Amino acid sequence: MVTAVGQGVSWTGYEFRRARMVERLRQMGITRAEVLSAMSAVPRHVFVEEALRSHAYDDMSLPLGLGQTISQPYTVAVMTQLLFSQRPINNNLRILEIGTGCGYQTAILQALGLREIYSIERLRPLHERAKQNLRAVHLLAHARLVCGDGYLGLPQEAPFDGIILTAAPKEVPLPLLQQLSIGGRMVLPLDEGGVQFLWVIDKTAEGFQETCVQQTLFVPLVNDN
């Protein structure tokens, strides 16, 4: 189920660009219908700096200030698709996001119909901006935004069915592995000696299964400890 967003707010002039972005994502291999619908539903330009909004639907990352970026649409779509793989997307799933940033990935998760989303951002100005952005598109109701250290996760709310990282650590944070439920999946970029790769980690009763997907590029995940 994809939630309608932006009701009562005018997004005139961007609908065609967003539709073209979604078609490009389809051609690039994003096949999950729910993900494509969510990418179509969320107005990405609201999450982009005003001076850069003409590029909001181009397939490129854009600066947010404070050394952070909003990921390119393809990266958001492919990580979202990987997070759920072939499992049904339903509102019983509990998802943890590390690196809220401007809130765009959080909005995509909510547009999928998820009702338990937790998202951690270490930079207070971005944490506040994400709340403002999500309010603007009416997608804050089911997201709990926390300002804190993403390396630590949220043990008091664990376990999570899915964990998604939008910044790259040099190794998988152990607390996040511990907070993943049996049958759960983590999607994250890893910085391996200056080169980053996107990984999927599935937690089973026997242990962890790790799959390297593709090369990628993210800002680093900072450990405050």
Preceding omega of 159 cis (within 30 degrees of 0): yes
Which one of the listed residues 37, 40, 54, 71 is annotated catalytic?
Answer: 71
For the record, the structure tokens of 153 come out as 């996760």
* Sign, CA torsion 7/11/12/16: negative
| Residue 6 to residue 110: CA distance in whole angstroms | 13
Q: How many helices (H) and strands (E) does the chain have?
A: 6, 9
CB contact set of 27 (below 8 Å; sequence gap of 6+): none
Q: What angle do CA 21, 87, 167 make, to 5 degrees?
A: 55
| Residue 119 to residue 97: CA distance in whole angstroms | 4
Contact 1, 113 (CB under 8 A): yes
Could you confirm whether 37 is annotated as catalytic? Answer: no
Parallel, antiparallel or unpaired: strands 195-204 and 207-216: antiparallel
What positions carry a catalytic annotation?
A: 71
